[in-house]
Amino acid sequence: MDKIFVHEVGPRDGLQVEKSSVPLEEKIRWIEGLLDSGIDIIQLGSFVHPEKVPTMADTDALFKHFSARGDSPKNVIFSGLVLNEKGLERGLACGVEMFCMGVSASETHSKKNTGMSTSEALKRITLMAKQAVRENKRVQVSVQSAFGCGFEGPITKEKVLSIVKEYLNAGLKIICLADTAGHAQPMQVEELYASIRQLDPSVEMACHFHNTYGLGLANCYAALKSGVTYFESAFGGLGGCPFTKLPAGNVCTEDLVHSLQRMGLRRDIQLDQLLGVARQVSTHFNRELPGAVLKSGSIVDFVGTGL
C-alpha cells in the first residue's frame, strides 16, 4: 500500500463556519501542536474576502508567520485554498507550498460559492492551477459536491468524471473528491474512485468527507480500499461549507488517525498530540466537539492493530 497522507484542514474548513473569529496567536498555538503530531499537510486557511468569511481574515499573516520560521518540520506541507486569481496572487506572495482549488459539480452550489457556473469556474480554476504549477507549486484540484448536493440532490457520475477529465487533460494529477453536503455512501465512493482510476492509473487521489449523516469514517475506509492516499480531516470534527444547505462537520482528525492506527497504519503520528489540540479547541469554543476518541480515549495501545 502507498503511503497514507493526512491533510489537516481544521484551521480552514474547521473554522470557516464559526461565528466568532479565533485570535491569530491562538491559531498559531493550535497549528504548532499539529506540527508536533507528525501530520503531513496542514491547511492554514483560505484566500477569500474577509467580509464573506471573517474567520479567514488572517490567512496571509499565518502563512507569513510559518514561512518565516526556520524550525518547522521539513516534511510538513502548508496548503491554502484559493477560489480566484486574486487569491492565487495572495497565496504566491505569502509562501503557500500547496494550492488547493476546486469546482463544484452542482450548479447551484457553484453559483452560491463562487458566483459562477460549473463550466465558468472550471475554465478559471484550470488556468489558475496551471499557473501555480508553472510557479513550481504543488497543486491539488477538487470536485466539490461530488457525491450529492443539499440543493440539487444526486449528482451524476458522468458530471463528476467530466470535470476530472478536464483536470487530467490539463496535466493535473492530484485530484480530490469532496463530499461537501455529506451525501456519500461507501459503495458510491468505491465506484467513483474506481472510475477515476480507469481514466488514469497514475492519478493521485484524495478525499474530503463530511460527517453530516454519520458515514464519514466508513467513506474514508471505502476510499482507502479504492487506492486513495490523501485524506482530509479537521481537528475535533469541526467545519462545514458556509455556502451549502446544511453545513456539518468534517471527518475528525483524531478519529481518522485512531482508525488508521487500529489497522496498523500511520503509527508514527502522535495521537495524544492531536487530542491535546482538540481539547484546546474545545476549551476555546466552550463546547463539546463531535470527535469520538476525544470523549472515549484511544484503545490502540491496549488492543494493538486489531488485525
- Residue 205 φ/ψ, nearest 5 degrees: -100, 140
- Non-local (6+) Cβ contacts of 191 within 8 A are 157
For 249, which DSSP code? P
Distance CA 136, CA 119 (A): 26
Exposure string over 239-251, b if 16+ CB within 10 A, otherwise e: bbbebbeebbbbb
Reply yes or no on whether 252 is catalytic.
Answer: no
E strand spans, the chain: 5-8, 41-47, 77-82, 98-104, 138-144, 174-179, 204-209, 230-233
CA–CA distance, 78 with 243 (Å, rounded to integer):
24
User: For residue 289, what is its C-alpha cell?
Assistant: 466537539
Q: Cell 501542536 belongs to which residue?
A: 33
Of 176, 207, 241, 252, the catalytic one is 241
How many other C-beta atoms lie within 10 A of the C-beta of residue 171?
11
Q: Identify the H or E element spanning 36.
A: helix 24-37
Q: What are phi and psi of 241, to 5 degrees?
A: -80, 125
Dihedral angle sign, alpha carbons of residues 174, 177, 220, 286: positive
Helix (H) or strand (E) holding 299: none
3-state secondary structure of 153: strand
Closest CA to 77 of 16, 30, 133, 34: 34
Map grid coordinates 477538487 to a residue.
142
List, by residue number, the catalytic residues. 241
